[in-house]
């Protein structure tokens, strides 16, 4: 969970209870990612963790004009907050340097989201003994994952909190987790991890019974004591009910709690990741720092009402309690 919620302490807490943890590699500098891997090893004393990276999105021709048009719509919000909007650059989040970090540090697994990882990167990681996984939102992409030669697939269903991690952001509604898991399993012999809307032990047991290799949870840990979730986000998870999938914060579809920002801009926000992410970043940081929920991307899956404030190890134990 890039952007704050995932911390080394959260990963260590998950590992302590026998879970397989992830470090979020996106938005960090390569040096910080290396430090996090080293610190997690010394804190948790084990290797049951992976690193998640965003593979770079190709620049979409024509997106610059749409992003600038969106900027004019956001300007009144920025003026009111006394904040300058960000520079809507297209960058690759230091992808190559982060790949070198994971090749040097050799976590057990690297998962990619947001785009297909380049074939040579997949080959180099696998040659170094690192498993490579990709996130899919659409079963039709399964053959590509097979062709790329990855070790496994994360089937991220429509209920999931945060960004759609698949290689193509269609902007359309997609299959729910259970159906997506079944559809992908019908097309491949690769192990498939189910993610999206998993809120309680019944969901976990059900998806495993349906053949999931494992079950991945994000939102369930947003209120964990060790998470770095902003206070305003923690608080709103307990009082807002509805969620929506929107491009309004980053230019890529993501599920968030409904706020006035999602209501005003979901219908008009353009596709354009990471430009929109950079454009809105200062305003969102300001919202976090000043506790204004209507200025913050409050990522949440459909099961957010069940997210507990507890140590991460306790949350893992609860999720596993029907196994
Ligand atoms: C706050 C937040 C941040 C996330 N960040 C990432 C990320 O950096 N990389 C990624 O592949 N998925 C990310 N996701 C999606 C999760 O990997 C996972 O698919 C999702 O949380 C599962 O649905 P759930 O939130 O309903 O459990 C994020 C989800 C949330 C809620």
According to DSSP, the residues that pair with 131 across neighbouring strands are 109
Indicate the domain borders of the chain.
1-56+93-226+304-323, 60-91+241-297
> What pLDDT, on the 0 to 100 scale, is given for residue 263?
98
Cβ of 135 closer than 6 Å to ligand 1, yes or no, is yes
Split at pLDDT 50, 70, 90, the class of 62 is confident
Tell me which residue has its CA closest to atom 18 in ligand 1. Answer: 218
According to DSSP, the residues that pair with 156 across neighbouring strands are 195
Question: The domain 1-56+93-226+304-323: what is its CATH number?
Answer: 3.20.20.70
Which atom, in ligand 1's list, is nearest to the CA of 161? Answer: 25
Mean predicted confidence (pLDDT) in 278-305 = 98
Which distant-in-sequence residues (6+ apart) come within 8 Å of 147 by Cβ?
none
Alpha carbon of 80 to ligand 1 centroid (Å) = 31
Which atom, in ligand 1's list, is nearest to the CA of 160? Answer: 23
E strand or H helix that includes residue 155? strand 152-156
Split at pLDDT 50, 70, 90, the class of 58 is confident
Cβ of 28 closer than 6 Å to ligand 1, yes or no, is no
- Mean pLDDT in the chain? 97
Which distant-in-sequence residues (6+ apart) come within 8 Å of 71 by Cβ?
85, 88, 279
Alpha carbon of 257 to ligand 1 centroid (Å) = 14
* Candidate of 26, 163, 192, 201 to mutate for ligand 1, largest count of ligand atoms within 8 Å of Cβ: 163
Alpha carbon of 199 to ligand 1 centroid (Å) = 13
Cβ of 5 closer than 6 Å to ligand 1, yes or no, is yes
pLDDT tens digits along 206-217? 999 999 999 999
164: tokens are 């759609």
pLDDT exceeds 90 at position 60: no
pLDDT tens digits along 73-116? 999 999 999 999 999 999 999 999 999 999 999 999 999 999 99
The conformation of residue 106, written as its DSSP 8-state character, comes to -
Contact at 8 Å (CB) between 246 and 254?
yes
Alpha carbon of 319 to ligand 1 centroid (Å) = 17
pLDDT tens digits along 100-156? 999 999 999 999 999 999 999 999 999 999 999 999 999 999 999 999 999 999 999
pTM: 0.98
Alpha carbon of 101 to ligand 1 centroid (Å) = 22
Split at pLDDT 50, 70, 90, the class of 61 is confident
For residues 202 and 137, what is the distance between their CA atoms, to the nearest angstrom?
Answer: 23
Mean predicted confidence (pLDDT) in 48-58 = 96
Tell me which residue has its CA closest to atom 16 in ligand 1. Answer: 218
Cβ of 315 closer than 6 Å to ligand 1, yes or no, is no
Alpha carbon of 1 to ligand 1 centroid (Å) = 5
> What pLDDT, on the 0 to 100 scale, is given for residue 8?
98
Alpha carbon of 111 to ligand 1 centroid (Å) = 12
Cβ of 301 closer than 6 Å to ligand 1, yes or no, is yes
For 176, half-sphere exposure in the C-beta direction (CA atoms, 13 angstrom radius) is 7
Contact at 8 Å (CB) between 192 and 172?
no
The residue among 60, 185, 167 whose CA lies nearest residue 118 is: 167
Question: Quick one: what percent of the chain has pLDDT higher than 90?
Answer: 98
Cβ of 136 closer than 6 Å to ligand 1, yes or no, is no
**Phi, psi of 318, deg, nearest 5:** -65, -45
pLDDT tens digits along 207-265? 999 999 999 999 999 999 999 999 999 999 999 999 999 999 999 999 999 999 999 99
Cβ of 298 closer than 6 Å to ligand 1, yes or no, is no
Which atom, in ligand 1's list, is nearest to the CA of 5? Answer: 1
Cβ of 203 closer than 6 Å to ligand 1, yes or no, is no
Split at pLDDT 50, 70, 90, the class of 272 is very high
Phi-psi label, residue 273: left if phi above 0, alpha if psi -120 to 50, beta otherwise: beta
N-to-C CA span, the chain? 25
HEC-encoded secondary structure of 250-300: CCCCEEEECCHHHHHHCCCCCCCCCHHHHHHHHHHHHHHHHCCHHHCCCEC
More confident residue, 58 or 129: 129
């Amino acid at each position: 969970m890039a952007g704050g919620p995932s911390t080394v302490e959260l990963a260590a807490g998950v590992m302590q209870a026998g879970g397989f943890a992830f470090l979020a590699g996106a938005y960090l500098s390569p040096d910080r990612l290396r430090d996090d891997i080293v610190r997690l090893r010394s804190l948790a004393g084990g290797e049951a963790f992976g690193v998640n990276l965003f593979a770079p999105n190709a620049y979409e021709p024509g997106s610059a004009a749409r992003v600038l048009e969106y900027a004019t719509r956001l300007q009144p919000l920025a003026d009111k907050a006394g904040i300058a909007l960000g520079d809507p650059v297209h960058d690759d989040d230091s992808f190559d340097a982060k790949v070198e970090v994971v090749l040097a540090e050799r976590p057990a697994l690297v998962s990619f989201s947001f785009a297909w990882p380049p074939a040579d990167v997949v080959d180099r990681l696998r040659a170094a003994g690192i498993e490579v996984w990709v996130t899919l939102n659409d079963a039709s992409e399964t053959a590509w994952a097979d062709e790329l030669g990855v070790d496994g697939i994360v089937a991220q269903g429509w209920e999931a909190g945060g960004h759609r991690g698949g290689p193509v952001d269609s902007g359309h509604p997609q299959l729910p987790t259970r159906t997506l898991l079944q559809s992908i399993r019908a097309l491949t012999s690769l192990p498939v991890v189910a993610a999206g809307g998993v809120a309680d032990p019944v969901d976990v047991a059900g998806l495993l019974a349906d053949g999931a290799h494992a079950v991945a949870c994000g939102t369930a840990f947003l209120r964990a004591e060790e998470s770095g979730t902003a206070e305003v986000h923690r608080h709103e998870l307990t009082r807002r009910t509805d969620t929506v999938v929107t491009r309004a914060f980053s230019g890529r579809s993501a599920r968030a709690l409904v706020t006035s920002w999602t209501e005003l801009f979901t219908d008009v926000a353009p596709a354009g990741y990471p430009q929109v992410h950079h454009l809105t970043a200062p305003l969102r940081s300001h919202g976090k720092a000043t506790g204004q929920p209507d200025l913050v991307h409050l990522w949440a899956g459909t099961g957010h009402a069940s997210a507990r404030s507890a140590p991460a190890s306790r949350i893992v134990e609860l999720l596993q309690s029907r196994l």
